[in-house]
Structure 1
Amino acid sequence: MHEPAKYNCPFCRILSDESESSIELIFESKFSVGFLGLRGNEKSGPTVLIASKKHYENIYSLPPEVVADSFVLAQNVAVALKEEFQVDGTTIWQHNEPAGDQDVWHFHLHVKGRLEGDSLYKETAYELTSEERQFIRARLKNYQ
């Protein structure tokens, strides 16, 4: 286990409505939820995070049915990003443990809309405004 003692998981707070943020669930399946990430990139499409409903620190302890459910939901999100935002492609990634760049100790996938030549791995993320988040959420809520 890498999560600190008495870890106050931000994803568990979101799922239990204890979060003070304006995060809204956009997608939901049997074992997973999808919500808009807090950061965006100027040159590429939105990012949706897919998190397990139940708290699992990382992929190693995830039951197979949750793995399958999370990736099916990620596929649906990728299609929604492609159709609603006309992205040229998508990237799906997931981090495990500190050496794997994990910094939130709750299993989740990132589904990122990509544009040709977006230089995703070179650009700097910025905090999305409330208006940007509302616009993206409204567009993606049509997909479930």
Structure 2
Amino acid sequence: MKNAPPGYDCPFCAIAGTLPSPAPESAVVLVDANVFALVPTHHYAGIQGNCLVVPRRHYENVFDIPDDLGSEFFCATRRLANAMRSAFCCGGISTRQHNGPAGDQDVWHYHLHVFPRYPDDGLHAGQKLPYATAERIELAARLRAALQ
């Protein structure tokens, strides 16, 4: 079942179309053959440095994504987790993924959230807050440096 509205203009496909040389304001952190990762436009509960791992091809949700991309998602997630630990000195990492309207999906292109975590950080009760563009770019630069 597809949930994207007719004529949906996918923001992740637009970014994927610029790879491997994305615009700086996209805050892309990692580019692999079939996936990329970026600092999104929002953070939660004041926890900054969260990222999204996204397939370069369009798949709406977990029901559509091919099995063979699983290892690439895992590898990118692990690389980001290590970069977050190095760049942000976080005590842990959480991931989450949403599918369909009842699953709180709001971008109709599969993506995996990766969060740096700290004791009592309030992620689960936290509010979704926008980043300033400069914040996103700076956080992305720190993560890219940690990925080297």
Does TM, scored on the shorter chain, surpass 0.5? yes
Separation in structure 1 between the aligned mates of residue 103 and residue 84 of structure 2, nearest angstrom: 26
Moved more, 104-113 or 115-124: 115-124
Separation in structure 1 between the aligned mates of residue 130 and residue 117 of structure 2, nearest angstrom: 18
Correspondence 1:1-144 to 2 at 5 A: 1-17=2-18, 22-41=25-44, 43-142=46-145, 143=147
The total of aligned residue pairs comes to 143
Moved more, 68-77 or 49-58: 68-77
Counterpart residue type for residue 86 of structure 1: C
Separation in structure 2 between the aligned mates of residue 12 and residue 49 of structure 1, nearest angstrom: 14
Separation in structure 2 between the aligned mates of residue 41 and residue 58 of structure 1, nearest angstrom: 22
Q: 1:78: Cα distance to partner? A: 0.9
Separation in structure 1 between the aligned mates of residue 24 and residue 61 of structure 2, nearest angstrom: 23
Counterpart residue type for residue 69 of structure 1: E
Q: 1:30: Cα distance to partner? A: 1.9
Q: 1:41: Cα distance to partner? A: 4.1
Q: 1:43: Cα distance to partner? A: 4.2
The TM-score with structure 1 as length reference comes to 0.90
Gaps of 5+ in 2: none
* Percentage of matched positions with identical amino acids: 30
Moved more, 20-29 or 122-131: 20-29
Counterpart residue type for residue 7 of structure 2: K
Are the structure 2 counterparts of residues 42 and 103 from structure 1 closer, same or farther at C-alpha, using a change threshold of 3 Å? closer
The TM-score with structure 2 as length reference comes to 0.87
Structure 1 runs (4+) deviating above 6 angstroms are none
Moved more, 78-87 or 124-133: 124-133
Moved more, 53-62 or 8-17: 8-17
Separation in structure 1 between the aligned mates of residue 4 and residue 132 of structure 2, nearest angstrom: 29
Q: Is the 8 Å Cα contact of residues 93 and 109 (structure 1) preserved in structure 2? A: yes
Are the structure 2 counterparts of residues 101 and 125 from structure 1 closer, same or farther at C-alpha, using a change threshold of 3 Å? closer
Indicate the SS of the match to 1:121. helix
Separation in structure 2 between the aligned mates of residue 21 and residue 127 of structure 1, nearest angstrom: 17
Gaps of 5+ in 1: none
